[in-house]
Amino acid sequence: MTAPHLLIAGAGIGGLTAALSLARRGIASTVIEKRTGFGETGAGLQLTPNSGRVLDALDLALPLKRVGVASHGLMIRRWGDGKPIVEMPADPARLPTPFRLLSRIDLHTILLDAARAMPNIRFIVGRGVEDVRQDEAGVTATLASQNGGETLHGLGLIGADGLWSRARSLTGDAAPPEFTGYEAWRAMVPTAAASLAGEKPRVTLHLGPQRHAVHYPVSSGRQINIVVLRQAKEAREGWTRAGDNAVLTDHLAAGSSALRQLAGAATGWQVWSLFDRKPAAMARGRIALLGDAAHPVLPFLAQGASLAIEDAGVLARLLAEHLAREGAAGVPAAMAAYAAARARRVARVQEASRQNGRNFHLGWPWSIGRDLVLKRLGPDGMRSRYGWLYDWRDASGTEAG
């Protein structure tokens, strides 16, 4: 009997996690990547326990430990003087699933290496999905490239092709993403050049009016990932626009000396405009969307990669269950069940991230009230506030929150 086979558009974190999750369940896939080479863009990411459990179930805990940093919690500081607002300490040794800090390229490399080792995962690069037709037997995808078209067949298509998703437009949602009025500047700082001696490895936030910054160690502690958010008048597509150091220096002029020193040690700033988009219909027949293709998440909750990983785990499980019971005819039902299972959670994460953005960027005097609320919450209140997010698991087929 021929093994079931799915098509996956996009070889980013979500697409590769989906391919691995399917492969472990005996389901083959072809991963289609329009870029001519593999190499994840972006700087660092926070891999929280909710998504970490999905990757640990794929036997990736050891390689993640080699390249990541186990976080010792969160520190929130004021922009101007750097004074602490609230600290939420954590002991990684007491967490069943650690809160990992790592570079995006390291996570992508781990996923790619694991996928390449699976005989039932095939890659096609340099070609993008141009069109998809569905029928009772499956889907037929037309790929476009400089050398002409090509068609592929599968039982279904998983669209994991990012914010400007072609797969999403094929489901009937062609409305473009909306610019938020903010842009993010990101860079890496060698730890040896950073003035963070004696600090435990953790996430540090600096909150200011219409701006904030976040930094944390990655690459086994050898580098510090720093991201600075600022308002912008116009949007630009892409992840690789070079930033002018003079612009950032001016933006940080009123920041604390520690923040200015850390940013001053960074070189090669890259800038990307922040876009928002309402959640899509995550399934239509034999097509399902995951990650940014379905529900881009603003970076104020550090859940973009984690939500894509969650999506991939849930979708793979439901496809395996329906294929086992119903064969190829069960794919549309699996896609529909996935959309229903994820809708409430992804909408809640998106809105929580937007709310964080509003709170992070409050100016005086509203920032005083925000800081008082955070201080009153304290470490235990902060943990309780986000229990619905980090305690999520899919082991039983159900979701929290």
Q: Is residue 205 part of a domain?
A: no
Q: How confident is the model over 145-181, as pLDDT tens digits?
A: 666 678 999 999 999 999 989 999 888 787 889 999 9
Asked if residue 193 lies in contact with residue 265, where contact means CB atoms within 8 angstroms, the answer is yes
The residue with tokens 């969650």 is: 310
Is pLDDT larger for residue 20 or for residue 194? 20
Q: Is residue 196 part of a domain?
A: no
Structurally, the chain folds into a number of domains equal to 1
Q: Is residue 76 part of a domain?
A: no
Q: How confident is the model over 74-111, as pLDDT tens digits?
A: 999 999 999 999 999 988 888 888 999 999 999 999 99
The SS3 call for residue 205 is: strand
- Structural domain harbouring 115: 5-67+101-176+277-357
Q: Is residue 239 part of a domain?
A: no
Q: Which of 176-190, 195-209, 353-367 has the lowest mean pLDDT?
A: 195-209
Cα 310 to Cα 28: distance, rounded to the nearest angstrom: 20
Residue numbers annotated as active site: 216
Q: Is residue 194 part of a domain?
A: no
Q: Is residue 88 part of a domain?
A: no
Cα 391 to Cα 15: distance, rounded to the nearest angstrom: 23
Q: Is residue 115 part of a domain?
A: yes
Q: How confident is the model over 291-302, as pLDDT tens digits?
A: 999 999 999 999
Asked if residue 77 lies in contact with residue 86, where contact means CB atoms within 8 angstroms, the answer is no
User: pTM for the whole thing?
Assistant: 0.94
Q: Is residue 142 part of a domain?
A: yes
CATH number of the domain encompassing residue 58: 3.50.50.60
